[in-house]
Structure 1
């Protein structure tokens, strides 16, 4: 049984573990291996610019629970397929002349559908964040038309590797007889979906409208991502806390990103750092979201810089401003779009 100090209270009262969650090291090892193989292969063929597509396929490894079960591989395969399809649609939008504005309804719709599907299917981890990330990031990268088919190809291949490693773990390690039952359906899920669509869409529209005044401000999907992070948790106070953690963790993580980007690392060293960050993320994300972002932020910045290099200072400032903007807009949607009355209406 955990002792009285096994958990402490985090930002705005969220419970924080004082050590990695059970089985977190397994997810961390799998994720690091998948990303190392994918990025190493892309380096060998001189296509590290597709590293961001590989990252989306690697995200499949985090779904379905930390411990192997007889059905986990199915959940990972399903999420790998969804991530691949979402990245492909995003890349198609990204090659159009109207990608900046088309990305807004695309990502908003993805946020709403993923929020609903997460509740209906009991995704673990819950929420629309990774699908929003795939749609928004791929829609913002100026892929050449000939490269667009490579995005789902790389993502699908990486996801297949992630699923295969998860299945191998099931053969080697003890397997649970059955996964825990999915949480009960939230009767107020329609309000969550509405918040996700409105918050993510409004954040993208505002970030796009003001991007001309921001140095390096051509990544409105960062604002949409920041608006979407809240919907991994059900209650209003938890959602608002997640936004605060997003801003705090991003601020600290940008300092780490500045050091890494300023070092001018060669490609092989960059891959090594990205893989190490992926390992750290899966170990610490269960402690506290803000702590996890200290590693998530530099990893995202390195992948973005590989796909579309930009001046470092402008890139990082844009990330901070758009993160704060997205959290503010998302928080406003959370507070404003709520059923009347008390009880479950506070969700």
Structure 2
């Protein structure tokens, strides 16, 4: 192959990657799902602000992320899935808090937990975001300073946040299931072969644990970002997709930093930021 041909192939690959980076993927979610998610996540935050405990509101709003697991289909399927995921959120956060007293122990625990969660979410064919937020919650809590007396309060706040999500989810589901027949709602479920699932779960567990340990060894202020970032990237379907997700995450991080800097320049009140 000539040098000119190789150069042309490289340019074509770069053009393709640039197009893929700026391409908006089609989603099956209805437009009001993001609005519903904003309500479920923002309500605990505003409640905490008006009660004078913004720190409680910030923690509770993490539980509101459970709304992202609301599936399409019948009312029963929606509610059962959300209730099961709510329990998973609470359990994940509790597991992390219980084992946060030693980072040498925390790494294998989060690795084994990531392995189990990936196996479980695939077994039950849980749609995206799948295993992500369960492992994220465990990674965040396992990096917190250990305080046995505060565990019930923190776990309760996560549970409170999931309740904030369940209430509007029920109201919305009653409305949308009456408006849309179940036969018109696409339900996609794929079960992986056992050897693929086990090897995938092992890789996720291994690198989740190693990344957390690396963060602790380098004494990072928030070491949980390493396993969360690793997990987000490993959601890719193939090597090319993983590479794109890595670039997306890096770009998104810088964009978020720029947005945070702009907000800080405005000298907004806590209510304004909320």
**Scaled by the length of structure 1, what TM-score is found?**
0.65
RMSD between aligned residues: 2.7
1:263-342 matches, within 5 Å, as: 263-271=266-274
Asked if 1:200 corresponds to 2:208, the answer is yes
Asked if 1:105 corresponds to 2:112, the answer is no
Does the CA-based 8 Å contact 1:125-1:232 persist in structure 2? no
How many angstroms apart in 1 are the aligned matches of 2:213 and 2:87? 28
- Equivalence for 1:182: 189
Unaligned runs of 5+ in 1: 1-7, 212-216, 272-347
How many angstroms apart in 2 are the aligned matches of 1:55 and 1:63? 15
Number of corresponding residues: 254
How many angstroms apart in 2 are the aligned matches of 1:225 and 1:53? 17
How many angstroms apart in 1 are the aligned matches of 2:112 and 2:19? 30
How many angstroms apart in 2 are the aligned matches of 1:106 and 1:261? 37
Residues 14, 261 of structure 1: alpha-carbon distance in 2 compared, 3 angstrom cutoff = closer
1:260 to 254, 260, 263: 263
Residues 44, 23 of structure 1: alpha-carbon distance in 2 compared, 3 angstrom cutoff = same
1:128-147 matches, within 5 Å, as: 128-142=131-145, 144-147=147-150
Cα deviations by residue, 1:261-281 (Å, 9 ceiling, x for unpaired): 45553221221xxxxxxxxxx
2:29 to 23, 34, 51: 23
Unaligned runs of 5+ in 2: 1-14
Asked if 1:164 corresponds to 2:167, the answer is yes
Does the CA-based 8 Å contact 2:41-2:65 persist in structure 1? no
- Equivalence for 1:77: 83
- Equivalence for 2:38: 32
Task: For residue 123 of structure 1, give the secondary structure of its aligned residue in structure 2.
Answer: coil
Q: How far 1:146 sits from its partner (Å)? A: 3.4
Q: How far 1:22 sits from its partner (Å)? A: 4.3
Q: How far 1:50 sits from its partner (Å)? A: 2.6
Question: Which entry has the higher C-alpha Rg, 1 or 2?
Answer: 2
How many angstroms apart in 1 are the aligned matches of 2:264 and 2:107? 29
Q: How far 1:144 sits from its partner (Å)? A: 4.7
How many angstroms apart in 2 are the aligned matches of 1:140 and 1:63? 25
- Equivalence for 2:12: none
Cα deviations by residue, 1:27-51 (Å, 9 ceiling, x for unpaired): 2121111222211222233222233
How many angstroms apart in 2 are the aligned matches of 1:226 and 1:132? 11
- Equivalence for 1:60: 66
Residues 72, 231 of structure 1: alpha-carbon distance in 2 compared, 3 angstrom cutoff = farther
Does the CA-based 8 Å contact 1:64-1:125 persist in structure 2? no
